Amino acid sequence: MDQGAARATVPSPRAASDVFDDSGSGLMDYVKLGRSGLEVSRLCLGCMSFGEPGRGADGWTLPEEESRSVIRAAVEAGVTFFDTANVYSDGGSEEIVGRALRDFARRDEVVIATKVFGPMRTGPNAGGLSRKAIMTEIDNSLRRLGVDHVDLYQIHRWDPHTPIEETLEALHDLVRAGKTRYVGASSMYAWQFAKALHTAELHGWTRFVSMQDHYNLLNREEEREMIPLCTDQGVGLLPWSPLARGRLTRDWGTRTARTADDGYGDSLYAGTAGTAEADRAVVERVARVAEARGVPRASVALAWLLGNPTVTAPVVGVTRPGHLDDAVTALGLSLTPDEIAELEEPYVPHPVAGFD
């Protein structure tokens, strides 16, 4: 697939010593989020895995003490960017993240991002992006996080049942009220995102600074429309599932505790016979490049993403300390053009996945 449109120039990351490095380790890089003035770590800690098992839909999440260990390790590694959502563990993730960051970090030196869209209860106005839902859920998220504002408030999905004007004006009012500093979006079609950007500009409302989308070596459909749009508009890309739910880090077909209880992940990568064959080839090539380099497979997959200048920070889920080490290793790994071509060559078009 032609990558030309997706690899335009955006601001380059600066060394940790230039910005923030309490530990003196010099491991982390920092970069502006798109064309905004917000500076974030080059890795974003995805917090979906934090929550008491059994609370909400996920049974594979980490209880609080284990979650706190991961968050503390991330802070010590220089991570300043933390992404959660109201629906993760039915609000439990926000509670755990808020308590941990109060204990392990200074509020003005971390970037807290959360999301709104999914229903948090039953009945009318339980979810979506109406003005009522947004105004209710921001206050609930702030209460669970224990803060008076978040830095990035993101719409988790597109709401086909609410006029985009209503959603955008409500988000703008949150910025004016000081409840969030910036607003971002997540998986949707490029025409929908273009409409939102244009509508905000037309009315003088706060503009989205980021797009958190489904993008990795096993699903590169965003390269067709969304990434060129973000590059053109100066929107920072925050890929979720950068390791394809771990599929890029292990031998093909290997099952884990999470995959045994991850129906949504299965739906993302169900594919067809043709895509499965191509996906297996990609996984095997990640393993081959990693072995040749003497680095973990996760580091190779993340280095490939970080090589795209529109990507600000992959949203990396961590359930063990080694996962964080692999992610940090990727920051210092520059793939050669031949390695990139080897990783990309087997890819075939995939069905759109992750928009619902």
Please answer whether residues 249 and 301 qualify as being in contact, where contact means their C-beta atoms are separated by less than 8 angstroms: yes
Neighbours of 319 (CB within 10 A): 19
CA distances from 356 to 141, 156, 224, 226, 338 (A): 22, 10, 19, 16, 35
At residue 64, the pLDDT reads 97
Instruction: Report long-range pairs for 141-145 (Cβ below 8 Å, ≥24 apart).
Output: 141/86, 141/94, 141/114, 141/116, 142/179, 144/86, 144/91, 144/94, 144/95, 144/98, 145/94, 145/95, 145/97, 145/98, 145/112, 145/114
Q: Which of 88, 182, 215, 269 is catalytic?
A: 88
Backbone angles phi, psi at 206, to 5 degrees: -60, 135
Known catalytic membership, residue 88: yes
Got the DSSP string for 173-224? HHHHTTSEEEEEEES--HHHHHHHHHHHHHHTPPPEEEEE-B-BTTB-GGGT
Cα separation, 318 vs 81, whole angstroms: 14
At residue 261, the pLDDT reads 59
The pTM is what? 0.90
The string over 174-183, giving b where at least 16 C-beta atoms fall within 10 Å of a residue's C-beta and e elsewhere, is bbeeebbbbb
Please answer whether residues 117 and 123 qualify as being in contact, where contact means their C-beta atoms are separated by less than 8 angstroms: no
Domains of the chain: 16-271+310-333 (3.20.20.100)
Rounded mean pLDDT for each run of 10 residues along the chain, 356 residues in total:
38 35 59 98 97 80 96 97 97 98 98 98 95 98 98 98 98 98 98 98 98 97 98 98 96 70 66 84 98 98 97 96 94 97 97 84
Q: Is 235 exposed, middle or buried (0-12, 13-18, 19+ CB in 10 A)?
A: buried
Please answer whether residues 20 and 78 qualify as being in contact, where contact means their C-beta atoms are separated by less than 8 angstroms: yes
